Amino acid sequence: MISGDLFADQPPRYTHVILNPPYKKLNSNSTHRLALRRVGIETVNLYSAFVALAVAVTAPSGQVVAIIPRSFCNGPYYRPFRDFIFARTAIRHIHLFESRNKAFKDDKVLQENIIIRLERGGQQGPVTVSTSTDDSFSDLIAHEHPFDRIVFPDDYERFIHIPTSPEQSVIELSPVIRYTLTDLGIQVSTGPVVDFRLKAHLRDRPEPSTAPLLYPGHFSGSGATWPIEGMKKPNAIERNADTEKWLYPNGFYCVVRRFSSKEEKRRIMASVVEPGVFGNTPMLGFENHLNLFHENKRGLPERLAHGLAVFLNTTAVDEHFRRFNGHTQVNATDLKRMKYPSRDALIGLGEWAMRQEALTQDQIDAKLASLTA
């Protein structure tokens, strides 16, 4: 019906649609995916397909309410679906559950879920964002936000952010935290070693022909421990023609792990890779669950690496990130779009950090406060 084929009936038009769609990935050449493509819907999961089809048969000013995973809010795979929604609807209301463990405890739900209300053909304006701990809604809190806090005007990917507080963060307000990574001459990338694709080349223990392979489990606190005996993940990767292009030269790097649980105390946890930990090895492998900061695929100056880690480990950065990125992933794209202090300021933070025997959270936060005062 939606395709408008010559012999197709006209689709019904609904004023109200409420849906709890199924969740299942769609392969790129599946019959479902090809059928959706015929009507201009390009998406990777059944849940977003159902929402897009619901929008397609909703009358002007009609309301669509869906309880769906939050995964469509970010990442390149859902970009066509986001574009489809933005072109046809206005987002009116998003509800976020603070604890998925409590809201969906009977269903063993692993995804973080939201409730979203869309208006077909509506003029986009402010968006109401509400939160509750669980499905009792007993502690419901709601705030209205301008749309440019939901989708940043200069964001090509058009990620959907769900701020949980109306106040702007220290990071947003500070005049000294205004530099992009491009300004700083720094890049951030997802760790290139996808272990299941290179399984034949992985080794539990380092050997003369291997390079260290770093997983999130190798990092605790501000530094790395390697190798780790008895770790469930391999400690090394063979150096050969199949793996060499995925490795980085040994050096100083700042790394941030990509995944945390929603209930964890911190969302962003940064550590410094110090080359001395790995002896004389010339190359390092970074597994796909890490983000790493580098300069043209080489290490950073030592003080800069330490300064970046200090800044990223501040409470202000973590709170800022949580306010706009409630999902449990920390993607390289998120880190690219953040603002940072100047390169000189980061080097100064690094020099200060390297003089301290140990760093507490209070010390780190006080140091950032003095920088932004």
Q: What is the DSSP string of 4-57?
A: --TTPPPPP-EEEEEE-----B--TTSHHHHHHHHTT---SBHHHHHHHHHHHT
Same domain, 155 and 205: no
Q: 332: which residues sit within 8 A by CB, 6+ positions away?
A: 188, 189, 190, 291
Domain, as residue range, for 338: 172-372
Same domain, 331 and 243: yes
Give the least confident one: 64-78, 117-131, 228-242, 314-328. 314-328
State how many domains the chain has: 2
Task: Quickly count: other Cβ atoms within 10 Å of residue 136's Cβ.
Answer: 10
- Please report the pLDDT score of residue 106 as a whole number: 47
Same domain, 85 and 100: yes
H-state helical runs in 68-213: 79-88, 100-103, 170-173, 181-184
- Please report the pLDDT score of residue 328 as a whole number: 66
* Residue 25 CB-density burial (10 A; 0-12 exposed, 13-18 middle, 19+ buried): exposed
Instruction: Report whether 204 contacts 212 (CB < 8 A).
Output: no
Q: Could you read off the pLDDT of 259-268 as tens digits, one per residue?
A: 875 556 778 9
- Distance set, CA 60 to CA 39, 118, 122, 123, 159 (Å): 19, 11, 8, 11, 25
Which of 131, 151, 166 represents a domain boundary (last residue)? 166
Amino acid at 345: A
DSSP string, 136-149: T-TT-EEEEE-GGG
Same domain, 186 and 139: no
Same domain, 255 and 350: yes
Which of 166, 191, 221 represents a domain boundary (last residue)? 166
pLDDT tier for residue 330 given thresholds of 50, 70 and 90? confident
CATH code, 18:
3.40.50.150
Q: Could you read off the pLDDT of 189-207 as tens digits, one per residue?
A: 999 999 999 999 999 999 9
- Please report the pLDDT score of residue 103 as a whole number: 47
Q: Say how many Å lie between the first and final Cα of the chain, rounded.
A: 61
Q: State mean pLDDT over 67-88.
A: 91
- Please report the pLDDT score of residue 326 as a whole number: 54
Q: Which of 157-161, 167-171, 213-217 has the highest mean pLDDT?
A: 213-217
- Please report the pLDDT score of residue 171 as a whole number: 77
Residue 92 has pLDDT above 50, yes or no: yes
Segment holding 61, helix H or strand E: strand 58-69
Same domain, 62 and 95: yes
Whether residue 7 is contained in a domain is answered as: no
Joined tokens for residue 177: 């935290």
Three-state secondary-structure class, residue 96: strand
Whether residue 2 is contained in a domain is answered as: no
Q: Could you read off the pLDDT of 342-361 as tens digits, one per residue?
A: 999 999 999 999 999 889 99
Instruction: Report whether 90 contacts 124 (CB < 8 A).
Output: yes
Same domain, 195 and 325: yes
Same domain, 330 and 190: yes
- Please report the pLDDT score of residue 309 as a whole number: 96
Give the least confident one: 80-94, 108-122, 222-236. 108-122
Whether residue 132 is contained in a domain is answered as: yes
Joined tokens for residue 212: 């260290």
Residue 219 has pLDDT above 90, yes or no: yes
Which of 113, 139, 166 represents a domain boundary (last residue)? 166
Q: Could you read off the pLDDT of 102-117 as tens digits, one per residue?
A: 545 445 555 678 999 9
Q: State mean pLDDT over 230-248.
A: 95
CATH code, 271:
3.90.220.10
Same domain, 159 and 180: no
Q: State mean pLDDT over 286-297.
A: 97
Q: What is the mean pLDDT of the chain?
A: 90
Whether residue 245 is contained in a domain is answered as: yes
